[in-house]
A and B are shown apart, each in its own frame.
Chain A
Amino acid sequence: MSLRRFRLFRRFGLPERLIAVLLLVFVIDVVCNTVLFERANTFELRRDDAQRIAENLVLARRAIEHSAVGERQAVTTALSTAKFSLKLSDQNKRYRGSLSLANLRAQVIEMEPELAHSDLELHLESIPREGNIGGSLRLADGGVLDFRTHARSAWKLSIGRFASLVLPTVLLISLAWLLLRAALNPLRSLVRATRHFDAGPPRPVPEHGPDEMRELIRAMNEMQERIHQSMLDRTHTMLAIGHDLKTPLSRIRLRLDDGEVDPIVRDGINHDIDEMRMLLDSIQAYVDTGGTQIPAERIDLAIMAETLVDTAADRGADASYSGLSSLVIMARPVSIRRALSNLIENALHYGGNVRVGLRKDGGAAEITVEDDGPGIPEERITDALQPFVRLDTARARDTAGMGLGLPIVRKAVRLEGGTLDLRNRPEGGLRATIRLPLAAQ
């Protein structure tokens, strides 16, 4: 039952919720004021306090009424004390407080019945300055005597009055804040999801919040799905093209082996075929790297890096390894090996040499791949991580590849929850740093 009501509330849109909050605040305001009014009305002072007020008023009235008209002001001032201040004022400007204290008035009149004929009025001071209880009475000649006094037990009432003024405001502010937060929370999670949205499988954002927000989230989820689908289509198309091209490539290669082809021509064409195969393979690698079907397993990262360096060095490349001789992490071996290999090949290609280092840094394995080449222009480092971007387009196309080398690295590293950082070294050359979480032992 309550759940259903809750759901009903959830279905409300923003304007409805705002109105609901305003209504609630209004009701609370009315209730507060009613309660306060009632309490003020039935308010009674302790007997001695009421006695004091009654006696002071009777005495002051008698003294003022018996003095000459010209001296009344002076007499009033003389009678006024710190605890019971008196003031004469114009009859036309008689002030009546908003919270009249009917019971207290009755109490006072019961003690000094002669005050009943002087139109006594008692109220709670809204701002307790000279006293928290104020009042006035009419003198026999029509003048008005204002007075203010402190009553010990009236402070509760004063606080109540203060609260009744402040509470609805505070409530309005906090409810409005909660409402806005509740309304904006889904928006925030949507923003977060959008920021993390990438080529991976779509991660639908749970629909919650007001109707408008739900609609937005639903539209967003559908968009995610559409984008994912179109990326899948693109991927499949790329793979299909790659796959279908390989059969004719195989035919060309086998035809070349016929023996009637000029060896120079054959070598040239074979070289071209190899380059095409590399392009197709890098697409395949890029697509494959996203696949999380392959489970992570324990791999010795140090030996993996060292083996890649050794292989390059055996080929005659200027490659060296320094660092740990063994470090076991949990990762997908194929993609991490490919990532390291891509970085090493990049360094060798652009820098002519490569230094690979591995160390343990806190809870992470940190691999650095450095070269002494020209590095990457600072403003193009982000571009270098985008798929199908080739940094050397301006130069001769001497590089095989489709600009997928670094994107593959980044994809592979992200898959393991790691980070890739590319930086130009102050001494010159590029340094790629991969950080991968260590295996939980």
Chain B
Amino acid sequence: MSNTTAPIYRHLDDGPMPTPTILLVEDDGPLRTLTARALRQTGFNVLTAATGAEMWVTLREGPVSLVVLDIMLPGTSGFDLFRRLRRECDIPVIFISARGSEEDRVLGLELGADDYLAKPFSTRELAARVSAVLRRGGNNPTSADFTGSDAVADGRTPESIHFEGWNLSMARRELRSPTGAMVDLTGAEFDLLATFLAYPQRVLGRERLIELSRSRLGDSSDRSVDVLVSRLRRKLQAEGAESPIVTVRGVGYMFKAEVTRA
């Protein structure tokens, strides 16, 4: 029933769309009910599906902003389901897995999932992740819908960003040096670097940096921004070259290297 290849997804009507619709695919009945309730309480519209087949049916019935997908489903693996889903559209997906395995996480993110959440999660965690992914998808919730890939491409985060031979993979949250060595970053350092790379050759004040780096720097003081910047600088200097982050006295910092996005 789900094998139709024709373009079956309805376009969303233009206009304001206040409540994003989340499709939850989870085989465990009680957990499905509880998760759906938790998401509804947070203010989302929630549709549910117990199997991959149900998921396809629901997707064809109406617009969906995001899919929360359990990796272990009866009959078919969430990964396979996800691959098929990606072939047809660019809807954001958050994986949920009972396996805490790092391999699953990496594989999920590598396939292009937008986030990965390990069981057991709390309502707050789930809501935060869903909101973050929706926000990343752009201000217009329709952009993340089945309206074709063109509309989606702009708002989505690029796969990877390059500067001076360095490579920052957004999906895997990984930084690699010009020699290809993996360079570890803390979550806050990653967000800070991503912010710098989003505004190259622009002077950014400390407050602006905190603001742009989203929630992870949320409770940071000016001083801790300085600490983070100096750590980041040291890591980018590890290869011996001059650090691309320069201090602009009295104002803040600037990322002076050229940045290309792929």
Contact = CB atoms under 8 A, between A and B. Distances in A.
Interface of A: 239, 242-244, 246-247, 249-257, 270, 273, 277, 280-281, 284-285, 288, 291, 293-294, 297-300, 302-304, 307-308, 310-311, 314, 325-326, 328, 333-334, 337
A257 B186 contact: no
A334 to B, nearest CB: 5
A325 B189 CA distance: 17
A333 B31 CA distance: 34
Nearest to A311: B186
A367 to B, nearest CB: 14
List 8 A-B pairs, minimum CB-CB distance, nearest first.
A326-B238, A250-B120, A254-B34, A246-B98, A257-B123, A249-B120, A298-B181, A246-B119
B238 A298 contact: no
24 contacts: A243-B72, A243-B98, A246-B98, A246-B120, A247-B28, A249-B120, A250-B34, A251-B28, A254-B31, A254-B37, A256-B122, A273-B120, A288-B102, A291-B103, A298-B182, A300-B184, A300-B238, A303-B183, A307-B184, A307-B186, A310-B186, A311-B186, A325-B234, A328-B181
Contacts of A326: 238-239
A270 B122 contact: yes
A249 B119 contact: yes
A298 B120 contact: no
B122 A307 contact: no
Nearest to B124: A257
B101 interface: yes
A99 to B, nearest CB: 81
Contacts of B16: none
Contacts of A243: 72, 98-99
A437 to B, nearest CB: 15
> In which size bucket is the chain B interface?
35 or more
B146 to A, nearest CB: 29
Contacts of A311: 186
B150 to A, nearest CB: 35
A303 B30 contact: no
Interface string B181-196: 1111110010000000
B235 interface: yes
Contacts of A325: 234, 237-238
Given A246-B98, A257-B122, A307 B181 contact: no
A297 B189 CA distance: 22
Interface string B98-114: 11111100100000000
Considering residues A273, A297, A307, which has the most beta carbons from chain B within 10 angstroms of its beta carbon? A307
Given A247-B98, A254-B123, A310-B231, 18 more contacts: A246-B120, A249-B120, A250-B35, A250-B98, A251-B34, A254-B34, A257-B124, A277-B100, A277-B120, A288-B103, A294-B103, A298-B180, A299-B181, A300-B177, A300-B182, A304-B184, A307-B184, A325-B238
Contacts of B99: 239, 242-243, 284
A273 B235 CA distance: 36
A327 B124 CA distance: 39
A299 B120 contact: no
Contacts of B189: 307
B120 A252 contact: yes
Contact of A247 (B38, B106, B119, B239): B119
Contacts, number: 106
A242 B100 CA distance: 9
Contacts of A281: 100
Nearest to B30: A251
Interface in B147-183: 177, 179-183
A210 B183 CA distance: 54
B185 A307 contact: yes
A291 to B, nearest CB: 7
B122 A303 contact: no
B199 interface: no
A298 B38 contact: no
A311 B189 CA distance: 11
Contacts of B182: 297-300, 333
Contacts of B35: 250, 254
Nearest to A293: B103
Contacts of B101: 284, 288
Contacts of B119: 246-247, 249-250
Contact of A300 (B30, B103, B122, B181): B181
Interface in B60-119: 72, 98-103, 106, 118-119
A352 B234 CA distance: 27
A326 B181 CA distance: 10
A307 to B, nearest CB: 4
A303 B238 contact: yes
Contacts of B102: 288, 334
Interface string B15-45: 0000000000000101100110110000000
Contacts of A293: 103
A311 to B, nearest CB: 5
B122 A253 contact: yes
Interface in B180-239: 180-186, 189, 231, 234-235, 237-239
A293 B103 CA distance: 10
B253 to A, nearest CB: 19
Contacts of B38: 254, 257
Nearest to B127: A257
B120 A253 contact: yes
Contact of B100 (A251, A284, A298): A284
A326 B184 CA distance: 11
Nearest to A305: B184
B31 A247 contact: yes
Contacts of B231: 310
Contacts of B120: 246, 249-250, 252-253, 273, 277
Considering residues B31, B72, B182, which has the most beta carbons from chain A within 10 angstroms of its beta carbon? B182
A44 B28 CA distance: 107
B97 to A, nearest CB: 9
A270 B123 CA distance: 12
Considering residues B37, B98, B124, B184, which has the most beta carbons from chain A within 10 angstroms of its beta carbon? B184
Contacts of B177: 300, 328
B166 to A, nearest CB: 12
